[in-house]
């Protein structure tokens, strides 16, 4: 199969309130990758600032620029998933709008991909992020890989180069927790990591706060491993056995307790037994449930499946005017 340089690349740029970064990201991308068959696909995740207006202006002046704009803010996973689904080139280069990973580092990803990889992930040589993000990322990667046995490329980030057919296959799985880094190893073993430079954000503020990091970690832990659910179920079952033994002992006069305490122990036994079974049941049922759409597109420069649209083209024009 052809490599990224000869086959062509789509630079997918998710944006949420990144008006100050749009033009800079575009300039850096076309400067570094202008010699490649290039598409620059911005995904506006329901921004409330001038992000979409600035993307529209770029699209009017450069035919390589395409965009998708959501009906509201659906979140980071939805934004890159839409970009991956509608990228038109054989390779996808994921670049965040803040360009904390210099686009010049993409050449390292390309060189690794040319050796036959399906996905190449950048790993920060030195991370220029707030302490809470650095510590949080290390902690949940450790828990995921060492404690829960989830395979994740060590140190991998969102700065990545992926075959479009692989990225689209992952998006089309419609996982309840679309954690891309943990899904790639489930589909292919041809992936690699390379060290890349990282710099501090120069414009705008980060949208990734502690609440997002915690939710992201929990989604990974629960969605890609049964160990937490199994541990919770076993713990509840163990507590139920202890409570049941205490209730039997109290009823038989082996424990010094009153009628009320005996009744409480019996109730705990019943409740914890039901809880242990319920945890396993909910895990099994949840795994088979239909998933709602990750996103809805309000406006775009490219054809979009009707299932991904919420408004007709006429309604979009009315909104714009």
Give a yes or no: residue 239 inside a domain: yes
Q: Are residues 128 and 15 in the same domain?
A: yes
pLDDT at res. 254: 66
Would you state the structure tokens that stand for residue 56, as one six-digit string?
Answer: 């529209």
> Each residue's pLDDT tens digit in the chain (321 positions)?
567 777 899 999 999 999 999 999 999 999 999 899 999 999 999 999 999 999 999 999 999 999 999 999 998 889 999 999 999 999 999 999 999 999 999 999 999 999 999 999 999 887 756 665 666 666 666 766 666 667 788 888 899 999 999 999 999 887 766 678 888 998 999 999 999 999 887 776 665 555 656 665 566 655 665 666 666 666 666 666 666 676 676 666 665 556 555 566 566 666 666 565 555 555 554 555 556 678 999 999 999 998 898 765 555 455 555
Give a yes or no: residue 76 inside a domain: yes
Tokens 């959501």 belong to 70
pLDDT at res. 94: 97
Q: Are residues 197 and 71 in the same domain?
A: yes
Give a yes or no: residue 297 inside a domain: no
Q: Where are the alpha helices (DSSP H) in the chain?
A: 4-7, 22-33, 51-61, 76-86, 106-113, 131-142, 164-171, 180-187, 210-223, 227-251, 259-287, 313-320
CA distance 230 to 221: 12
Q: Are residues 171 and 255 in the same domain?
A: no
pLDDT at res. 150: 73
pTM for the full model?
0.73
Give a yes or no: residue 90 inside a domain: yes
Q: Are residues 100 and 161 in the same domain?
A: yes
pLDDT at res. 304: 94
Q: Are residues 196 and 270 in the same domain?
A: no
pLDDT at res. 56: 97
The helix or strand, by DSSP H or E, that contains position 42, with its residue range, turns out to be: strand 38-44
Q: What is the separation of C-alpha 257 from the centre of its chain, rounded to a whole number of angstroms?
A: 53
Give a yes or no: residue 18 inside a domain: yes
pLDDT at res. 7: 84
Would you state the structure tokens that stand for residue 221, as one six-digit string?
Answer: 């832990």
Q: Are residues 123 and 249 in the same domain?
A: no
**Could you give the C-alpha distances from 130 to 127, 136, 198, in angstroms and in order?**
9, 10, 13
Give a yes or no: residue 296 inside a domain: no
Tokens 């904390």 belong to 100
Helix axes 210-223, 227-251, angle to 10 degrees: 80
pLDDT at res. 285: 47
If one counts the domains in the chain, the total is: 2
Can you tell me whether residue 12 is helix, strand or coil?
strand
Q: Are residues 98 and 188 in the same domain?
A: yes
pLDDT at res. 221: 58
């Amino acid at each position: 199969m052809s490599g990224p340089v000869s086959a062509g690349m789509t630079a997918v740029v998710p944006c949420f309130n990144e008006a100050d970064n749009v033009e800079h990201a575009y300039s850096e991308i076309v400067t570094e990758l202008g010699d490649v068959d290039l598409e620059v696909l911005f995904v506006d995740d329901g921004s409330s600032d001038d992000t979409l207006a600035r993307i529209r202006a770029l699209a009017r002046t450069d035919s390589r620029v395409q965009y998708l704009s959501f009906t509201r803010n659906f979140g980071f996973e939805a934004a890159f998933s839409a970009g991956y689904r509608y990228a038109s080139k054989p390779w996808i280069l994921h670049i965040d709008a803040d360009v904390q990973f210099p686009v010049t580092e993409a050449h390292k990803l390309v060189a690794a991909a040319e050796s036959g990889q399906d996905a190449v992930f950048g790993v920060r040589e030195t991370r220029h992020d707030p302490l809470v993000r650095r510590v949080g990322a290390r902690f949940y990667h450790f828990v995921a890989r060492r404690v829960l046995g989830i395979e994740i490329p060590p140190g991998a980030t969102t700065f990545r180069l992926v075959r479009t057919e692989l990225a689209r296959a992952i998006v089309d799985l419609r996982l309840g927790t679309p954690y891309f880094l943990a899904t790639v190893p489930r589909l292919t073993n041809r992936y690699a990591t390379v060290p890349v430079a990282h710099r501090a954000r120069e414009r705008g503020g980060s949208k990734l706060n502690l609440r997002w990091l915690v939710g992201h970690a929990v989604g990974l832990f629960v969605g890609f491993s049964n160990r937490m659910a199994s541990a919770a179920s076993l713990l509840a079952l163990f507590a139920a056995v202890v409570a049941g033994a205490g209730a039997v002992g109290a009823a038989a006069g082996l424990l010094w307790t009153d009628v009320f305490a005996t009744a409480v122990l019996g109730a705990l036994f019943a409740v914890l037994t039901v809880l242990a079974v319920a945890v396993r049941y909910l895990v099994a049922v949840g795994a088979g449930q239909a998933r709602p759409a990750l996103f809805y597109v309000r406006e775009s420069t490219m054809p979009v499946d009707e299932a991904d649209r919420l408004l007709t083209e006429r309604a979009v024009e009315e909104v714009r005017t």
